Amino acid sequence: MTGIDASHEPVDIAIVGGGLVGTALACALAPLGWRITLVEASPAPAPGGQGDEAPDADNLPPDPRCFALADASCRILQGLGAWPELASHASPIRDILVTELGRPGRVHLDPAELGMAAFGQVVPAPALGRALAARLETLDGVTVIRPARVTGTRQTGEGVVLDIEGEKTPARLEASLVVAADGADSPLREALDVPVRRRDYGQVAIVCHVTPEHAHGGRAFERMTDTGPFAMLPLPGGRVGLVWCVETPDAQALMDAPDDDFLERATRRSGGVLGQFSEAGVRRCWPLSLAVAGQDVVGRVIFMGNAAHTIHPAGAQGFNLGLRDVAALAEVLSGNPALDRGATAREPGEWLDAGAAWRLEAYARARRADREATVALTDGLVGLFSSRLGPVRALRSAGLLAHAMAPPLRRRLVSAAMGYRAPVPALALGQRLEPVRAT
């Protein structure tokens, strides 16, 4: 990684936002020969912090989230070179059990149906962040500017000009392509007046690690309730990551409850499938809403990760979806873009323009189906289980849900859990991306 350049030269690609998705994108693009700058609003984490729930460092809040990574995502992270650092923090998902609170029936999802040993791996969010940051440190070709905030954007035809605010940072940055990975409230999305489809789920996810009485055996549990899912994800060392969705007015009492009380209530909510919970870790909560950008490409700006699609954690799809965006864009920006097989016939000027319209069209085309299906599946799951509509309730009370889920929805769930939806990006297939020009 190169240092800060006081009078910043124009770059091929500017990445706005160095969260998980922006950092993963920087790792994916660094070997491809483009000049890249990443602008991140928060300061670099102070050194320290190795825990799986603890913050990365003293200047960050704790993050007990653990992410269920689909098999395709694990392969993408391998392709980015971030997996070796992460492997010792990962726990395989050997099967998934979906049940509904207070109703008969269960859906057992088995990776053997697809000839696989595991759906993917569960990793603690801080370990994932550290692994990506550590990998980026080892790569040349990306300048990181932080703490600095992008405050304005202008498209010029040949490129995009970003206004930047920060101490000892350039005031402007010109790029041929801008990737906005600036999170759920994406300031760039606002600045460009991109319409957003929103829905407040009226739910909050409370997240906490606990120790179960019985071994989890690599099984992930998703218990549907009318206030949202209650998920238990297998972690290394026999721990389990809880994601407990409750209606917003009930969240504070649960956050404030003493550990013993919280553990007792969580055990009851789990239906006792893993016995009594003990040793509650740090608790944090996230309000849940849907925010889907009406356009993921505007001129030479691409929206990615939560900036493009912030979704409910039911089904654990958010980061997985963002990572597939990353892999698809890296492919379009590589020297072997299978997404547009006619690309090699392009004129050199067009070929070396990172923000050329043909590249962005190829990207948008490749991502549309996966995005729409993943958002619809996640939103549909939440709606189905929290619906107070008569016919849906009647179906559920009859205990028919598990059967209704049987063939079509079940197949969609299995394939979504694996993360392979056509067109599968090259990185998810373990293929190497070639540089677009020598570095």
Ligand X SMILES: Cc1cc2nc3c(=O)[nH]c(=O)nc-3n(C[C@H](O)[C@H](O)[C@H](O)COP(=O)(O)OP(=O)(O)OC[C@H]3O[C@@H](n4cnc5c(N)ncnc54)[C@H](O)[C@@H]3O)c2cc1C
Of the ranges 56-64, 84-92, 309-317, 381-389, which one interacts with ligand X (CB under 6 A)? 309-317
- Binding residue for ligand X (CB under 6 A) from 8, 12, 15, 22? 22
User: Can you read off the two tokens belonging to residue 327?
Assistant: 């892999």
Decide: 1 and 142 in contact? Cβ < 8 Å: yes
Of the ranges 63-71, 369-377, 407-415, 420-428, which one interacts with ligand X (CB under 6 A)? 63-71
Using CB under 6 A as the binding rule, whether residue 187 contacts ligand X is answered as: yes
- Binding residue for ligand X (CB under 6 A) from 90, 243, 426, 436? 243
Burial of 198 (C-beta count, 10 Å sphere; 0-12/13-18/19+) = exposed
- Binding residue for ligand X (CB under 6 A) from 74, 76, 316, 366? 316
Alpha carbons 77 and 131: distance in angstroms, whole number = 10
Using CB under 6 A as the binding rule, whether residue 21 contacts ligand X is answered as: yes
Rounded to an integer, what is the distance from CA 128 to the centroid of its chain?
A: 11
| Cβ closest to ligand X, residue 32 vs residue 66 | 66
- Is residue 229 within a helix (H) or strand (E), and if so which, with residue range? none
Burial of 234 (C-beta count, 10 Å sphere; 0-12/13-18/19+) = buried
Using CB under 6 A as the binding rule, whether residue 382 contacts ligand X is answered as: no
Using CB under 6 A as the binding rule, whether residue 322 contacts ligand X is answered as: yes
Alpha carbons 197 and 200: distance in angstroms, whole number = 10
Using CB under 6 A as the binding rule, whether residue 143 contacts ligand X is answered as: no
Using CB under 6 A as the binding rule, whether residue 416 contacts ligand X is answered as: no
- Binding residue for ligand X (CB under 6 A) from 13, 14, 20, 290? 20
Q: What share of the chain is helix, strand, coil (3-state, %, to 5)?
A: 35, 25, 35
Please name the amino acid found at residue 202: G
Of the ranges 176-184, 294-302, 353-361, 415-423, which one interacts with ligand X (CB under 6 A)? 176-184
Using CB under 6 A as the binding rule, whether residue 182 contacts ligand X is answered as: yes
Angle at CA of residue 45, ends 39 and 46, nearest 5° = 140
Q: Give which of 60, 63, 62, 82 is closest to 73, Cα–Cα.
A: 82
- Is residue 2 within a helix (H) or strand (E), and if so which, with residue range? none
Using CB under 6 A as the binding rule, whether residue 19 contacts ligand X is answered as: yes
| Cβ closest to ligand X, residue 149 vs residue 346 | 149
- Binding residue for ligand X (CB under 6 A) from 13, 17, 219, 370? 17
Q: Are strands 196-212 and 240-247 parallel, antiparallel or unpaired?
A: antiparallel
Using CB under 6 A as the binding rule, whether residue 42 contacts ligand X is answered as: yes
Q: Give which of 354, 349, 315, 323 is closest to 337, Cα–Cα.
A: 354
Residue closest to ligand X (Cβ): 19
- Binding residue for ligand X (CB under 6 A) from 12, 14, 18, 281? 18
Using CB under 6 A as the binding rule, whether residue 128 contacts ligand X is answered as: no
| Cβ closest to ligand X, residue 326 vs residue 436 | 326
Decide: 22 and 15 in contact? Cβ < 8 Å: yes
Alpha carbons 310 and 371: distance in angstroms, whole number = 11
**Residue ranges in 270-289 that form contacts with ligand X under rule CB under 6 A:** 286
- Binding residue for ligand X (CB under 6 A) from 65, 223, 324, 359? 65
Shortest Cβ distance from residue 107 to ligand X (Å)? Answer: 18
Dihedral angle over CA of 260, 261, 264, 268, nearest 10: -160
| Cβ closest to ligand X, residue 281 vs residue 318 | 318
DSSP 9-22: PPEEEEEE--SHHH
Using CB under 6 A as the binding rule, whether residue 319 contacts ligand X is answered as: yes
Angle at CA of residue 295, ends 291 and 296, nearest 5° = 85
| Cβ closest to ligand X, residue 42 vs residue 431 | 42
Using CB under 6 A as the binding rule, whether residue 129 contacts ligand X is answered as: no
Using CB under 6 A as the binding rule, whether residue 16 contacts ligand X is answered as: yes
Point out which residues bind ligand X (CB under 6 A): 16-22, 39-42, 65, 67-68, 149-150, 181-184, 187, 205, 207, 243, 286, 305-306, 313, 316-320, 322
